């Protein structure tokens, strides 16, 4: 049995992960579940999966989860915990082999580091953790000899393409991007698109934050930073190409000009299962590509005027230091404000650009976890202040 803890079990990735477990109940076991505030979903998951450990983002949510359970379901949970410490508790249990980090945001950073120190395999869906603390996380994994298996479909594809090839043979990583719902929207109409427009992703069904990030292409920028840390390849050797069909999940170009690509249906159960079972491959519950219908695969360069967030993220990676932490924190605040209808879509890039510019003039330490958390908090406050100004002025700022 592979014994699994799922951080973010009530979300899009978490639910897909439980479907993978259901398809392999004889070989995969759920030991721990953690989520934010979705009490009803967690109660249903405890009832179905009978985990030994459960964590919620707050004590209130934890009490609410407990109060609605049958005594039978409740008795099976030996460990209850809350907050960041709760995530750490679930992720570091002796009876856990693999930790799937599928929380949105950055709350699970301490839990991922603690799980690495405890020698657990990390199946990493959450990219924000690496954007925020890529150097710390990868150094810890190297020191402990722990595998960090990417669940993000692009990085999972690259992991598959790199298998058996020495780093010296690799020239470039090529991340594919669908281009999101606004790939062809006239640029001057982007100021008036709504949250509902941004949440209608053409090819993937995902959580709200990552779906908005896909619409701005900040998601691809965060993935460039994630790839830099996962594969130890510098920014200038990581390309992004728009591929609206989302069939080619990413590619690796080798020194001789050969390209290897990984193709598949748009179903996250595939990379989730790969991260659980690697280096084995098991039969999977996902549908197969249907060649009989023909495949029309198109590729085009991203338009950085249309997608300033992609440029901001690549610039932040090149700048290094605190810039990626600031980028990520400001983006989280800006996206949440856009979803609340407080700032326009184009305001997201404007807020992130402003906070990055403010940070560039300061000396911000990111040498430790505590220092990173401090920079993160500072950038969130800066972004919140800009959001408030923008919201009260009732207009957007352009990047």
Ligand X SMILES: NC(=O)c1ccc[n+]([C@@H]2O[C@H](COP(=O)([O-])OP(=O)(O)OC[C@H]3O[C@@H](n4cnc5c(N)ncnc54)[C@H](OP(=O)(O)O)[C@@H]3O)[C@@H](O)[C@H]2O)c1
With tokens 């080619």, the residue in question is: 248
H/E segment holding residue 49: helix 39-49
Radius of gyration of the chain, Cα coordinates, nearest whole angstrom: 21
Segment near ligand X (CB under 6 A), from 5-13, 130-138, 332-340, 389-397?
5-13
Among 36, 181, 221, 264, binds ligand X (CB under 6 A): 36
Name which of 120 and 220 has its Cβ closer to ligand X: 220
Which among 138, 147, 136, 88 is positioned nearest to 114, based on CA atoms?
88
CB 181 within 8 A of CB 205: no
Count of chain residues binding ligand X (CB under 6 A): 30
H/E segment holding residue 98: strand 98-101
The yes or no reply on residue 176 touching ligand X (CB under 6 A) is: no
Residues 300-359 that bind ligand X (CB under 6 A): none
The yes or no reply on residue 178 touching ligand X (CB under 6 A) is: no
The yes or no reply on residue 43 touching ligand X (CB under 6 A) is: no
Which single residue brings its beta carbon nearest to ligand X?
Answer: 11
* Residues contacting residue 163 through CB under 8 Å, at least 6 positions apart: none
CA 302/CA 309 separation, integer angstroms: 11
- Residue 241: CB atoms within 10 A of its CB come to 17
CA 1/CA 12 separation, integer angstroms: 24
Residues 46-65 that bind ligand X (CB under 6 A): 57
The yes or no reply on residue 38 touching ligand X (CB under 6 A) is: yes
CA 251/CA 394 separation, integer angstroms: 42
- Residue 362: CB atoms within 10 A of its CB come to 10
The yes or no reply on residue 34 touching ligand X (CB under 6 A) is: yes
Q: Lay out the site mask for ligand X across 95-134 (x = CB under 6 A, - = otherwise).
A: -------xxxx-x-----------------xxxx------
Angle at alpha carbon of residue 395, lines to 394 and 399, rounded to 5°: 150
Residues 348-377 that bind ligand X (CB under 6 A): none
Residues 200-219 that bind ligand X (CB under 6 A): 204, 206-208, 210
Name which of 29 and 213 has its Cβ closer to ligand X: 213
CA 178 to the chain's CA centroid? 16
The yes or no reply on residue 13 touching ligand X (CB under 6 A) is: yes
Among 4, 10, 73, 176, binds ligand X (CB under 6 A): 10
Q: Lay out the site mask for ligand X across 129-168 (x = CB under 6 A, - = otherwise).
A: -----------------------x----------------
Residue numbers of the site for ligand X (CB under 6 A)? 8-14, 34-38, 57, 87, 102-105, 107, 125-128, 152, 204, 206-208, 210, 268
């Amino acid at each position: 049995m592979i014994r699994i803890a799922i951080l973010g079990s009530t979300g899009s990735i978490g639910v897909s992960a439980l479907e993978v477990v259901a398809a392999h109940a004889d070989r995969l076991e759920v030991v721990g579940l953690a989520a934010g505030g979705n009490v009803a979903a967690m109660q249903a998951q405890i009832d179905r999966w009978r985990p030994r450990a459960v964590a919620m983002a707050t004590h209130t949510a934890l009490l609410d989860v407990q109060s609605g359970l049958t005594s039978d379901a409740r008795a099976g949970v030996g460990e209850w915990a809350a907050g960041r410490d709760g995530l750490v508790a679930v992720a570091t249990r002796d009876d856990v082999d693999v930790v799937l980090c599928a929380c949105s945001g950055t709350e699970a950073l301490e839990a991922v580091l603690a799980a690495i120190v405890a020698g657990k395999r990390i199946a990493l869906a959450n990219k924000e953790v690496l954007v925020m603390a890529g150097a710390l996380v990868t150094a810890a994994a190297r020191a402990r000899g722990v595998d960090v298996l990417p669940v993000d479909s692009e990085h999972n594809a690259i992991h598959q393409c790199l298998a058996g090839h020495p780093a010296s043979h690799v020239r470039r990583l090529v991340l594919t991007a669908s281009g999101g719902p606004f790939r062809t929207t006239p640029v001057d109409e982007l100021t008036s698109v709504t949250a509902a427009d941004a949440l209608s992703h053409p090819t993937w069904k995902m959580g709200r934050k990552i779906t908005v990030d896909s619409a701005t292409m900040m998601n691809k920028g965060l993935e460039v930073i994630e790839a830099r840390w996962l594969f130890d390849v510098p920014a200038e050797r990581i390309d992004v190409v728009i591929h609206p069909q989302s069939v080619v999940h990413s590619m690796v170009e080798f020194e001789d000009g050969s390209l290897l690509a990984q193709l598949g249906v748009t179903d996250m159960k595939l990379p989730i299962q790969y991260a659980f079972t690697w280096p084995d491959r098991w039969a999977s519950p996902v549908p197969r590509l249907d060649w009989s219908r023909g495949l029309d695969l198109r590729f085009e360069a991203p338009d950085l005027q249309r997608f300033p967030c992609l440029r901001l993220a690549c610039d932040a990676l090149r700048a290094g230091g605190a810039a990626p932490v600031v980028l990520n924190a400001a983006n989280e605040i800006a996206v949440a404000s856009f979803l609340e209808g407080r700032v326009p879509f184009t305001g997201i890039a404007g807020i992130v650009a402003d906070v990055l510019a403010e940070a560039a003039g300061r000396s911000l330490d990111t040498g430790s976890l505590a220092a990173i958390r401090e920079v993160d908090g500072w950038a969130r406050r800066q972004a919140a202040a800009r959001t408030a100004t923008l919201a009260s002025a009732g207009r957007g700022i352009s990047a």
